[in-house]
Structure 1
Amino acid sequence: MADSFSFEAIGTAWRVDTGAILTSGQRARLLHLAEEYDALYSRFRTDSRVTALAAAGGSLPLPPHGAELGRLLRTLYDLTDGGVSPLVGDPLTALGYDVGYSLTPTRPPAPARAWDDVLTWTDEGLTLQEPAILDIGAAGKGQLVDLMLEYLSAEGHEDVIVDASGDMRRAGEGTITVALEHPYDPSSAIGAVSLGTGALCASASNRRVWGDGLHHVLDARTGRSVDTVVATWALAADAMTADGLCTALFLTDPTDLAEAFAFDYVLMYSDGRARCSAPLAGALFS
C-alpha cells in the first residue's frame, strides 16, 4: 500500500490503507464522516442526536444511509425473534454500560421493549413513542466502515482497506489473508480467512467485560449477556451486513440468517468448540 492513515474515532482505533496517496482533504473528510456519524448515533455522547431523543422521545430525521441501517436492524430483529434490537440501550445502561461507563448495575437484567411498541423506523427517519436509549452498535461501526470506503472509491481510490479494530472492508484485486484472533489469547489465532473485495467483521464477548458474567453482547429478549457463544466472524459483501450478522450469530443459528443473507461465518462457543460455514475461504486450526 502506498499510504496509511491511523486515527481514533467512535471509541476505537481505525486504519485506512490505500494504493494511492491520500490527500489532506480526503483525510479530513474521513474524520468528518466519523464525527458526523458519532454526533448522530452515539449514546455515550451527551450532545448526540440519539441522546437528545432518549430524553423525551419524538422524531429524528436521518440521512439516506439511515434507511439502510434501519432495514438491516429490522430484518435481524425479526430473524432473531427480537434478540437483536436497537432498543437494547436501556438494558445495557441498567447493567452499567452507560454514558459514564459506571460498570455498576442499577437493576437486574430485564428485556428490551418490543420494537413495534416503541419504535418506528422509516426511510425518512425514526420516531420513539416514548423515551428510550437507542443503541445501533450491532451494525453501526460496520456501516461507518462502508461509508469511508465508498467515499474513497468515489474519489478514485481502487485499492483500499478500511479497518476499524478488526471490522474491515476491502476493495481491490487479489486477496489478503486475515487471522482470526483467539478470544482468550490475542497472541494466537483459531484460523485464517482470505478476503477479496468485501468485508470481514468480528465480535467477541470478552472485549468489553465487567462484573461477573456481564459483557456488551446482550440478548434483548432477556437483557442478559450471552454465555454460549464467545466470538463470531462474518464475511459479507459490505461491512454493515457483516457487523450485524456477527451480533446475530450470538443469538440464533446461522441457518436462520441464511434465509435473508449471503455470508460465510465462524463461531466459537464457550466450551471451546468452533463451527464454520462450508465451504469457507480459509481454514480453522486444530
Structure 2
Amino acid sequence: MIAEEWSVWSTTARVVVTDAKRMPAARALVEMMLGEIDQAASRFRPDSELMAAGRSSGPVQVSPLLATLVEVALRAAQESDGAVDPTVGGALCTLGYDRDISIVDVDGLEIALAVKEAPGWRSVKLTGTTLTIPDGVVLDLGATAKAFAADCSARLVADALDTGVLVSLGGDIATAGPAPAQGWQVLVQDKEDDPSCVVRMPAGKAIATSSTRSRQWLRGGLMLHHILDPRTSLPAPRTWRSATVVADHCTDANTLTTAALVLGGDALDMLREHDVPARLVAADGTVRTLGGWP
C-alpha cells in the first residue's frame, strides 16, 4: 500500500491505495472530485453555485451535482427527524463561522446568543434540478457534502483504476475495491487527549466521526462549535466529545454521528434503533459502545 495526504477544506485529505503505482492517478481523481464539489457547494465561496442560488429570488436551475448534494442533505434531515438540518447556515454565520474555519476570528467580539429555531429543511424545495431556497435562508451542506465526497471519491478511484482505496477527509472515511489482507486499519481518535482505539473494516465499509471539539472558536469568552441544534440555532450541548459510526456509506455514518451530538442524552436510543456499530466519548472521557462495536 501507499498513502498520500494534503490539506483541503481546513482538514486533511488522505488517500491510500493497495496498488502503489496507481497513486498519482488516484490523487488526481480525488482532487478533481473535491474541486468540483467545492465549486458547487461551498458556503465560503461567493462564486460557488450554492451561494449564487441563494441570492436568486424564486426557483433556479442548478447543476446535477449541486442538486445531488442538496438531495443528500435533505435526505439526511429527513432520516434524522430534523436533527441534521442544512438550514442552520445563517445561524452559523451569525455565530461567527462565516468563512473557512482557518481564517475565522477565533476570539471575536461578544455577541448576544439568542434561541431561535432554524428555518427548517422542509422550507427548501428541490424538484429534479430546480432548487428553491427561501429568502434569507443560507444552506450549509458542509457535513453531508464532505461525507458524500469521501464516498464518491473512493468509488471513482476503485472503478477507474481497479485498485483498493481508502479516502479520508477529516473524520469522514470511505473505502472501495478490495481491502488489504488484514482489512483497513483505522485509528479512531478525535483529539490527542481523547481515548483511542483501532478498528479493522472490511472492503466497502465507511466510518465517520463528528466532534464538538473540532472547528470551534471564541465569541465573547464563550467557546462555540460548528454542530448546531436546529431547535435552538446554537451549538449542541457538549454531552459527547465525539461520536463515531461504521456504516455501508459515509453519508449515512455522518448523518448518525451528527445527529448523536445534537440529541445528546437521547443519542443512545437513536443509535440502538439504527443498530449500527457506534462509539461515543462523553464529556468526561468515558467511552460508550453500541451495536457490536469491536
Tell me how far 1:6 sits from its aligned partner: 2.2
Q: 2:155 aligns with which of 120, 134, 150?
A: 150
**Following superposition of structure 1 onto structure 2, how do residues 1-286 of structure 1 map, counting pairs within 5 Å?**
1=1, 3-20=2-19, 21-22=21-22, 24-58=24-58, 59-63=60-64, 66-67=67-68, 69-99=69-99, 101-103=104-106, 104=108, 106-109=111-114, 110-116=116-122, 118-171=123-176, 172-173=178-179, 174-181=182-189, 183=191, 186=192, 189-197=195-203, 198-211=205-218, 212-227=222-237, 228-252=239-263, 253-256=267-270, 261=274, 263-280=276-293, 282=294
- Provide, for residues 88-130 of structure 1, a one-character-per-residue CA deviation record: whole Å limited to 9, x for no partner: 10111100011262454655243211222x3113443532132
Q: Which SS does the other structure have where 1:230 is aligned?
A: strand
Tell me how far 1:146 sits from its aligned partner: 1.0
Q: What percentage of residue pairs aligned between the two structures are identical?
A: 25
**Number of equivalenced pairs:** 275
Does the Cα contact within 8 Å between 2:212 and 2:261 map onto a contact in 1?
A: no
Does the Cα contact within 8 Å between 1:200 and 1:233 map onto a contact in 2?
A: yes
Is there any run of 5+ residues in structure 1 with no aligned partner, and where?
none
Aligned-partner residue type, residue 245 of structure 1: L
- 1:222 and 1:24 map into 2 onto residues whose CA distance is 45
- 1:195 and 1:209 map into 2 onto residues whose CA distance is 30
Structure 1 pair 26–273 and aligned structure 2 pair: CA distance change class (3 A): closer
Does the Cα contact within 8 Å between 2:16 and 2:166 map onto a contact in 1?
A: yes
Is there any run of 5+ residues in structure 2 with no aligned partner, and where?
none
Q: Give the TM-score normalised by the residue count of structure 1.
A: 0.85
Q: Give the TM-score normalised by the residue count of structure 2.
A: 0.83
Aligned-partner residue type, residue 101 of structure 1: V
- 1:234 and 1:66 map into 2 onto residues whose CA distance is 26
| C-alpha RMSD over aligned residues | 2.5
Higher helix proportion (structure 1 or 2): 2
Structure 1 pair 157–7 and aligned structure 2 pair: CA distance change class (3 A): farther
- Provide, for residues 142-177 of structure 1, a one-character-per-residue CA deviation record: whole Å limited to 9, x for no partner: 110111111111113332111112321123234233
Q: Which SS does the other structure have where 1:250 is aligned?
A: helix
Q: Which SS does the other structure have where 1:214 is aligned?
A: strand
